[in-house]
Structure 1
């Protein structure tokens, strides 16, 4: 069920917006709009980059996080707000070149990038990762 338009968005621990589980662009845009401070601008830039790189991208909100899928495949990327950064997760990140820096043995193939306010927006690297990620099967919950 989509977030009712008249209901204010609750920010959970770390400032993560609480958005109801739903498919489509609208709940993802509601999440991005509710991201606190500089994080909303980052969310908009990343969402625009994903749309440009994957024109038929499928969007959803799951577990209070935006998820992105390539048509006919599973999810390739999600984001999540934390107090000081935004986590950009690639579900098969271990297959990307270069491998995103976040991850442990416990995270198996999942890798991520923690983006802080002062970090530059590396559009070239993010585009390369997205292009590689959409060529993979993706993650299906």
Structure 2
């Protein structure tokens, strides 16, 4: 739309250019400009709708605690986490009813995350509203994933 709003949500920049809320794409995924570093990831997390923002903050904190030297970026409207020289090892994405965590070498994790992917090595972990996050298991996956070769940065 001409004034920068989203057809789906009506949010975004108004005619004067002032922001009146994040643009949410299909399934409630925030539209955040591509960028490297913590700031675009934090903007994405802040724009996650409803309960997903608090869970996103917790996921981000667990990743940083497990891998303090983590590199962050937003690409393709999703936060990516990786290590310089090793590549990306996981990403997040909002869907209508859950947050999807993609472990790019998930088939090598022990135990293997529960959700299969069409790509060979990737496995997913879905977080739904009201479900308790097993932080020990999640942190274990993050630590394991960070030690594997990742996707090209």
TM-score by length of 2: 0.85
- Structure 2 unaligned residues grouped into runs of 5+: 1-12
Q: Which has the higher contact order (CA 8 A, sep 6+)?
A: 1
Equivalent in the alignment of 2:133? 121
Determine the C-alpha separation between the residues in 1 that align with 2:120 and 2:54: 30
Equivalent in the alignment of 1:68? 81
SS at match of 1:88: strand
1:31 matched to 2:44: yes
Q: Report Cα offsets for 1:83-114 as digits up to 9, x if no partner.
A: 0000000000000000001114x221000011
1:46 to partner: Cα distance: 0.5
Equivalent in the alignment of 1:54? 67
Q: Which has the larger radius of gyration?
A: 2
Determine the C-alpha separation between the residues in 1 that align with 2:151 and 2:35: 17
Kindly tell me the number of residue pairs found equivalent between the two proteins. 136
1:72 to partner: Cα distance: 2.1
Equivalent in the alignment of 2:122? 110
Determine the C-alpha separation between the residues in 2 that align with 1:85 and 1:134: 23
SS at match of 1:59: strand
1:140 to partner: Cα distance: 1.0
Equivalent in the alignment of 2:94? 81
Determine the C-alpha separation between the residues in 2 that align with 1:131 and 1:27: 23
Equivalent in the alignment of 2:10? none
Equivalent in the alignment of 1:16? 29
The structure where helix makes up a greater share of residues is 1
Coordinate RMSD, CA, aligned: 1.4
Equivalent in the alignment of 1:132? 144
